[in-house]
Structure 1
Amino acid sequence: MAVTTKKKVVRALVNSLPMALKRYVLELLTTDLHPGVAQGADGERVNILLTQSIDASDTGNYTAAEQALEDAIIIAPNDPRLPPYLSRVRFLRDRANNPDALAETEKMLATLAAMDAEIGKKAIYVPGEFWETWGSFNVRILKEYGVENFKRTVSHNYQNWMMIGKDDPQVRRLQELWPSHRSHQPWLNAMEAPSHVGTPNGFQSDNHEYPLADLQQREVYRVAVGQLWEYVLSTDTSGIVDGLTELELGNPLRIWRNGSLISSDVAHSIKERNLLLKNLELNGQENLTVAELGAGHGRLAEIFGRTTNYRHVIFDITPALYVSQWYIKRAFPSERIFEFRPFNSFAEIEEELRECRFAFFTPNQIEQFPDDAFDLFINMNSLMEMRIDQIHNFLSHISRLTRRAFLSRQWFKRHYDEDKQSVEKKDFVLDNRWKIILDEIDDIYPDFFIQIWSKESDSIS
């Protein structure tokens, strides 16, 4: 019997069960007992060797890292954790000795240096300690793995968060939302095991394992992404979900839904795009200009680009600005792109910018733009990671630059040890020309609030 036929039979059997029993069976499908993992003294020795390998690879000693893993495989030849790590070490070793990869890295570093020099022209735009720390970590990861693999490295630090434990707020919320669509599809989706690349879960020296190399954590992630996709599909009044898939560009960790790639990035972006357009009574064909502060890898620019005729302008710090520019250029090869460069006045770039579908700028360059330059402005989860003086500065620019509406999602309250400050909802307020037309708890991540502000005195012609 063909695999696809077997899957259809399984689906039919599962669907025939009473609802409570069906959900129980689907839960059982996610249970995994790590077959092949060594126990006792052998297990302890394997874990020591695995840690030694990770530490060695972090310092560039790939020979020692490979030897430690080979020794571990002799002890536990069926341990499912070890082959991905061995492949990753070999990948890192080969890339570190590849002249073309090294040349690309040097080109990236030169571009990042130019971007950072531009940002450094005014202190208010220099990232605080929080993003200085994470930015340095992301640059290191990009140097090791290459921007071509960013969807399984730095994108986990932008929006594609690690939903790997059943106590994760998003995982819990997606379980709560399951009755709203009652789809069994999340448990039937297929997901690849990571072959050789993936970011450590944080930059602390004692936390360098890639969580999605762990079978149980990968299962939680697979089901959670599937549940997110089904929820967005069930609430998609615009009808765009079925026509969108995760792009292969950037080497995502692939999850297949009936043969099509899905991802949390695409699902979140569709949800946010639909929320904004629905509340503003737009259909995506109004030829508007959208500005976004802190765009991650460009996921919203991609979805707006694939589903509307809007122009998209991104302001960001490094290395995210480099990643989003790299990605959008390749995702939209036929579109005109305004790539980052220094300039002294808006008049220098105005004519060229008018002809471009996408454009990329450092945060300080926002000062060069004239009032009412954009129809819509978006910030998802990055104002909340800035110093208070930076938050107020950007809100002032957003207020003057935006003609119609501002979409914002931030923490209700968050303390940052790095910058020795706390931010909360009351810190994100526009001036008296604006009113709130949407103010609600994020339906996927309840620690966030999401708002749409509308400029009362302006309208789109």
Structure 2
Amino acid sequence: MRRIFERVEGPDPELQSLVSMLEYFEKEGGKYAPSGFWDSLDRLHVRDLLAGNYPLFKRTLAFQYFTWLPSPTNVQVRNLVRIWMRHPSIAAIGPRLACSPRQRFPPSATRISAPRFRMPTPIYLMFYRLFVGLLRHHAVGEDRMHLVDRLEEPAEGGPLEVYWDRRLVSQDLYNSILELRAIDRFVHLAPNSSRVAELGAGYGRLAYVFLKSEMCKQYVIADIPPALYVSQRYLRVVFPELRFFRFRPFEDFSEVADEFESSKLCFLTPDQLEHLPAKYFDLFITISSLQEMKMELVSLYISLIDRLTGGYCYVKQWREWHNPVDDLTVGYRDYPIPLSWRRIFARRHAVQSGMFEALWEVPRRGGGG
């Protein structure tokens, strides 16, 4: 990795912060180092960012986080059509929904997202418009907080241009609203009251919805670079008014406690979670992350979540996934969930039915010191 980021030229402070993260984690990440699968992807992502492609990351890197360009026969599309047929609405896919017929993609899009990448032609974008409309229709049916009508997709990162009543919208926005709603239905989040952590946040799509809807007192993202760099840069642009704790090395929580606890949004590498006080978080979230790790790292993270959380843990992962690089297969029953956790629900996801989502109540006492 070092030979890649030594190419940074000039005083660009944003790219220098990426280099600082990479240097720190290469030295201190230790047992939290990613699997071979993610190490290979991270190298591609770093090259793309160093080439200046951050402005369109929602058309490149995001396809390796939680964004899709599905085919018409994709399981998500089939599920959304079935959901729509229960309560059909022409308005959901009517003229209020618009999609630009020609949209630019950087050349790196095919390299980063191959082999599943489809270069969006005007015909494909007509279909993609319907896909987003069907997902919005489902989100409206689940949304008792009326976030679908209140929120719009930030233009930062260059998302595919899909509009509802001339407001920029996206599949990422609606998936995040559905995830927040799945949690809130049982947790009953009070505005600005909970400390929330997310492990492996991608570019910060779910953090955006939590913060925009004021459903947290504090949101802490723990991730490895370059994803940590992308989410930090993105959310600082989207929420310039918020107080941030930017990533930095520290050896003891007492060094940063006052600033950290008073910040609305904080960024850490996973190893830094070890410095936080026990039961610091009310809610811990991890989505499409654990199945890509070796089992010893999965066990380490779950133990860490147990120590840091006094409240709830929401997990959304593939029901079974094979990591071809490390030749590992991880399924729902492989996760070493502590016996002290009380399962509230565990179910197949309604849209991404190859995934499960589950919520556990985590004891507010115990879990280590």
Same fold by TM-score greater than 0.5: yes
Using the alignment, how far apart are the partners of 1:226 and 1:140 within structure 2? 34
Give, in angstroms, the shift of residue 337 of structure 1: 0.3
Q: Indicate the SS of the match to 1:127.
A: coil
Q: Tell me whether 1:259 sits opposite 2:166 in the alignment.
A: yes
2:286/2:316 contact within 8 Å kept = yes
Give the structure with higher Rg (CA).
Answer: 1
**Aligned counterpart in structure 1 of residue 300 of structure 2, from 393, 406, 410:** 393
**Aligned counterpart in structure 1 of residue 257 of structure 2, from 336, 350, 360:** 350
**Aligned counterpart in structure 1 of residue 82 of structure 2, from 170, 176, 182:** 176
* CA displacement, residues 169-227 of structure 1 (integer Å, 9 cap, x when unaligned): 111111111113312232542212213537534548xx589624323332332211111
Give, in angstroms, the shift of residue 456 of structure 1: 4.4
Using the alignment, how far apart are the partners of 2:181 and 2:224 within structure 1? 26
**Aligned counterpart in structure 1 of residue 271 of structure 2, from 350, 364, 382:** 364
Structure ranking higher in helix proportion: 1
* CA displacement, residues 399-439 of structure 1 (integer Å, 9 cap, x when unaligned): 11001000000111111111121101112232122111011
- For residues 230-245 of structure 1, the aligned pairs below 5 Å read 230-245=137-152
- For residues 142-291 of structure 1, the aligned pairs below 5 Å read 142-163=49-70, 165-184=71-90, 185-186=92-93, 188=95, 189-192=97-100, 193-197=102-106, 199-203=108-112, 207=114, 211-282=118-189, 284-285=190-191, 287-291=193-197
Using the alignment, how far apart are the partners of 1:327 and 1:237 within structure 2? 28
Give, in angstroms, the shift of residue 162 of structure 1: 1.6
Using the alignment, how far apart are the partners of 1:326 and 1:406 within structure 2? 26
Q: Indicate the SS of the match to 2:307.
A: helix
Using the alignment, how far apart are the partners of 1:143 and 1:364 within structure 2? 25
Question: 5+ residue gaps in structure 1?
Answer: 1-100
1:433/1:457 contact within 8 Å kept = no
Using the alignment, how far apart are the partners of 1:199 and 1:170 within structure 2? 26
Q: Tell me whether 1:341 sits opposite 2:238 in the alignment.
A: no
* CA displacement, residues 382-413 of structure 1 (integer Å, 9 cap, x when unaligned): 11111111100000000110010000001111
Using the alignment, how far apart are the partners of 2:42 and 2:18 within structure 1? 11
Change in CA separation of 1:390 and 1:350 when aligned onto 2, cut-off 3 Å: same
Q: Indicate the SS of the match to 1:177.
A: helix
Change in CA separation of 1:181 and 1:199 when aligned onto 2, cut-off 3 Å: farther
> Over aligned residue pairs, what C-alpha RMSD do you find?
2.1
Using the alignment, how far apart are the partners of 2:147 and 2:69 within structure 1? 25
Q: Which stretch of the first structure deviates more once superposed, 308-317 or 184-193?
A: 184-193
Using the alignment, how far apart are the partners of 2:142 and 2:76 within structure 1? 17
**Corresponding residue of 2:323:** 416
Q: Indicate the SS of the match to 1:200.
A: helix
TM-score of the pair, normalised by structure 2: 0.90
1:367/1:397 contact within 8 Å kept = yes
Using the alignment, how far apart are the partners of 1:269 and 1:432 within structure 2? 29
Using the alignment, how far apart are the partners of 2:98 and 2:66 within structure 1? 22
TM-score of the pair, normalised by structure 1: 0.73
**Corresponding residue of 2:221:** 314
Question: 5+ residue gaps in structure 2?
Answer: 1-7
Using the alignment, how far apart are the partners of 1:232 and 1:451 within structure 2? 18
Q: Kindly provide the amino acid, as one letter, of the partner of residue 380 in structure 1.
A: I
Q: Indicate the SS of the match to 1:340.
A: coil
Using the alignment, how far apart are the partners of 2:215 and 2:50 within structure 1? 35
Change in CA separation of 1:299 and 1:198 when aligned onto 2, cut-off 3 Å: farther
**Corresponding residue of 1:115:** 21
* CA displacement, residues 121-177 of structure 1 (integer Å, 9 cap, x when unaligned): 2431111111011111122222335222212221121111222x1121111111111
Q: Kindly provide the amino acid, as one letter, of the partner of residue 308 in structure 1.
A: E
1:152/1:199 contact within 8 Å kept = no
Q: Tell me whether 1:292 sits opposite 2:198 in the alignment.
A: yes
Using the alignment, how far apart are the partners of 1:199 and 1:220 within structure 2? 23
**Corresponding residue of 2:313:** 406
Using the alignment, how far apart are the partners of 1:383 and 1:437 within structure 2? 20
Using the alignment, how far apart are the partners of 2:316 and 2:111 within structure 1? 23
Using the alignment, how far apart are the partners of 2:253 and 2:315 within structure 1? 26
Q: Kindly provide the amino acid, as one letter, of the partner of residue 124 in structure 1.
A: K
Give, in angstroms, the shift of residue 102 of structure 1: 6.7
Kindly, what percent of the aligned residue pairs are identical?
31
**Aligned counterpart in structure 2 of residue 431 of structure 1, from 338, 341, 350:** 338
Using the alignment, how far apart are the partners of 2:86 and 2:240 within structure 1? 39
Change in CA separation of 1:301 and 1:457 when aligned onto 2, cut-off 3 Å: closer
